[in-house]
Structure 1
Amino acid sequence: MHAIHTTDIQSWSTSEVPVSQRFDYFADVLSSALVPMGVEIETPSRTAFHAEMTLAELGPMAISRQIGSAHRSYRRATELSRSGDHSFHLIINLMSGWTLTHCGEIRLAPGDAVLADSNFGHELHMPGRYECMHLKLSGDWLRRWVSEPSVLVGRRIPATSSWGRALTAFASQLSPQFLVDSPLPQSLLADQVGALLALVASEFGGAPKKASRGDAALRERIHACVLERCMEPGLCAVQVAEALGIPDEHLHRALSAGDESFGELLTGTRTGIALRMLGSSIFRRLSIEEIARRTGFNDATHLERTLRARTGRSPWQLRGH
């Protein structure tokens, strides 16, 4: 895609390049404008692929609006090693549902948002045509507003939550063209995003407090329950909280106090068991599909995506084949 520069806006469109170059161009644009990442095609032919993106700077953040065709993007060991300064990425879904594996797996409906951390790998699956807002945030700037961003990283920010609704409604209006035309100072707009993120963090349980003995004891119970039930497909925080006889907000608060999220704990537990099974001769006769089933993953493909995102290696490589 050829970049078209105005004073403040950069725009890209695959329609500006030959059909045969569109997909590769899109992959290069994402890596150069956001963070290094790989992309896999979802459409039957690369020639059917289309994408557009506009981007503008807003002080400590870069804001882009993207539309395009189905694809997968990922950040594995190779992409992580090429990353520059630490950054966070607030992604707001404006159109069809899609999934993100990043410190756990979540599905975002239209209007939902998620905060991603450039220090961790991800697997993003856009199964159909999509539209989203992407706010790339400086790590130092975000910590001025949210002292422990891990409270939010990898967790779905639902459009139905009180401050989540306010955050996504405001941030989704910050198109690059709006930033250029806005009558308000850009610093004020950036501060509004920071304040709303702080309020969402507070709604999710607040910045982690110094862990108490009660928090530590509850975390141990949560860990034990997740270890016992992690092979159940679709296991969620509400089910674990019900099994422990506590409100789910208490579960999230206890995990946040230990710098954890439920999604990260569940995926980490499942991944740890899968790694031990892949490395053990006892389970050598089990297929990768069966190992995926026994550890709670949807299928072998889901297990492979998670292992590649976390280790940079496939199940077959980890098994030594």
Structure 2
Amino acid sequence: MTAPATYATTAQPPARQYQHWRETVSATHLAWDLPARSEAAFDGRIRSRALGPAGLIACRCDPCDGRRGRGEIARDDAAYFGLLCILEGGEWLDSAGRETPLAAGHAMLWDSTRRMRFRAPARLRKITLLLPQDLLLAALPDAADRVGEPVSLRDGAGALLLAQLRLLLRGDDLPAMQQPAVLHSALTLLGAAFDPLAGHGSDGRDNAAALRRRIMAHIRGRLDDPALDPQGIADALGLSLRHLHRVFAAGGCTLDRWIWHQRLLRCRHDLSLAPAQTGSIAQIAFRWGFSDAAHFSRAFRRAFGVSPREWRRR
């Protein structure tokens, strides 16, 4: 883990402070568009460090707002989930049409591939953990469907996760050989904080969570089958169709929506590789269960904010 890097707008002349803040936010939190303003003076401070492939950023700042649109999404080098933890103040976030007011003591996930807006109406202090999407999906398979869902950092796994992130930001350098274990610990706590079925064996919900993971594993193994449907899944796993939908919906997402998004994620992964490896855009769409190239293109843009062609060109 590299030593922390610290940025402070107060080190700049007053006429340069807000512009410096705009540049620093995009340098540390992926690409953002913060609107120009007439007031040049601005108090903002950032402390960031890397944790293996992840990034950890502490931020405190005056009120501000910003957005991520197609242009900003196209500037990123990979797809990430951001875990936003509010320590003081509050922030309004609008992601994929879902507006979430986030208060101190709460966290939520955002997806770097989706359009997003934020507004901090008062002085703000927060921590952001940036995670490559494949890394988080291994710990929280339905992470894409948890985007915009607030969770508490005041107790349980959420409180432990926040304490760990604070220590990592304050601590000395961590030997490279210890970083995977520390990151795995943070991912485990994050998954436990977001999974409402975790840790409740007394009422049987742990069994429902295990069954939901089994359903997900079965689906992932057959995403390239255009005939994949709920009835076939239920038959393969020895479940009634009603029970299948009920168990899966307990995780906060419908079965059909989850299958659809998983197919889009597979397509996005293939579009990130060389065309010689994966074929044309239409071939990729058909490979992962889409039967109409135009429908796939529209669905991809709705999910990730850019067309398949723009993603590949990136």
TM, length-normalised to structure 1: 0.61
Give the Cα–Cα distance (whole angstroms) in 1 for the partners of residues 108 and 149 of structure 2: 6
Q: CA deviation at 1:140?
A: 2.4
- Report the Cα offset of residue 185 of structure 1: 2.7
Q: Are residues 200 and 215 of structure 1, via their aligned partners in 2, closer, same or farther at CA, if it must alter by over 3 Å?
A: farther
Partner of 1:106: 100
Q: CA deviation at 1:257?
A: 3.5
Gaps of 5+ in 1: 1-5, 219-248, 261-308, 313-321
Partner letter of residue 109 of structure 2? L
- The one-letter amino acid paired with 1:54 is R
How far did residue 21 of structure 1 move? 1.5
Shift of 1:38: 0.6
Contact kept in structure 1, 2:115 and 2:305, CA below 8 Å: no
- Counterpart for residue 8 of structure 1: 3
1:216 to 1:75, Cα distance in 2 relative to 1, 3 A: farther
Q: Which residue is 1:138 aligned to?
A: 132
Between stretches 152-161 and 89-98, larger displacement belongs to 152-161
Cα offsets for 1:202-225 (capped at 9, x unmatched): 32685664556337877xxxxxxx
In structure 2, the residue matched to 1:33 is 28
Q: Which residues in structure 2 correspond to 1:168-179 (within 5 Å)?
A: 168-175=162-169, 177-179=170-172
Does structure 1 conserve the Cα–Cα contact (< 8 Å) formed by 2:34 and 2:66? yes
Q: Pairwise CA RMSD of aligned residues? A: 3.3
Q: Could you say which residue in structure 2 is the equivalent of 1:22?
A: 17
Structure 2 partner of 1:193: 186
CA-CA distance at 1:181 after TM superposition: 6.7
**Aligned residues of 2:28 and 2:57 also touching (Cα < 8 A):** no
- Counterpart of 2:16 in 1: which secondary structure? helix
Q: TM-score, normalised by structure 2?
A: 0.62
Gaps in structure 2 of 5+ consecutive residues: 199-208, 217-229, 235-240, 259-302, 307-314
Report the Cα distance in structure 1 between the residues aligned to 2:29 and 2:5, rounded to whole angstroms: 13
Q: Deviations over 1:251-275 (max 9, x none)?
A: 6535253446xxxxxxxxxxxxxxx
**Paired amino acid for 1:20:** A
Question: Following the alignment from structure 1 to structure 2, what is the Cα–Cα distance between the partners of residues 168 and 258?
Answer: 33
Aligned to 1:242: none
Residues in 2 aligned to 1:88 and 1:163: alpha-carbon distance in whole angstroms: 19
Q: Aligned residues, how many?
A: 226
Contact 1:215 1:257 in 2 (8 A): no
Counterpart of 2:109 in structure 1 is 115
